[in-house]
Amino acid sequence: MTLASTAAASLVTLAEGAEHGGNHASLNPYITGGGALLALLLLLWITTRFNRDR
């Protein structure tokens, strides 16, 4: 098997798994989005703390 055919076979297997309900009940989109927003705001705050003109 070549690398391309192995990668294609892996992608087909992954796509077949997504058809049968790939979403997990534990992945709440509001919690995920809120956590991402909090992380980005924290990074923004840290960046502005270190980026002060002296």
Spell out the domain ranges in the chain.
25-54
Report d(CA 49, CA 43) in Å as an integer: 10
Higher pLDDT pick, 1 / 28: 28
Q: Please give the pLDDT value at position 17.
A: 59
Write down the pTM of the prediction. 0.49
Q: Please give the pLDDT value at position 18.
A: 56
Percent of the chain with pLDDT over 90: 31
CA distances from 15 to 9, 19, 50 (A): 10, 7, 44
At 2, is the pLDDT very low, low, confident or very high (cuts 50, 70, 90)? confident
At 54, is the pLDDT very low, low, confident or very high (cuts 50, 70, 90)? low
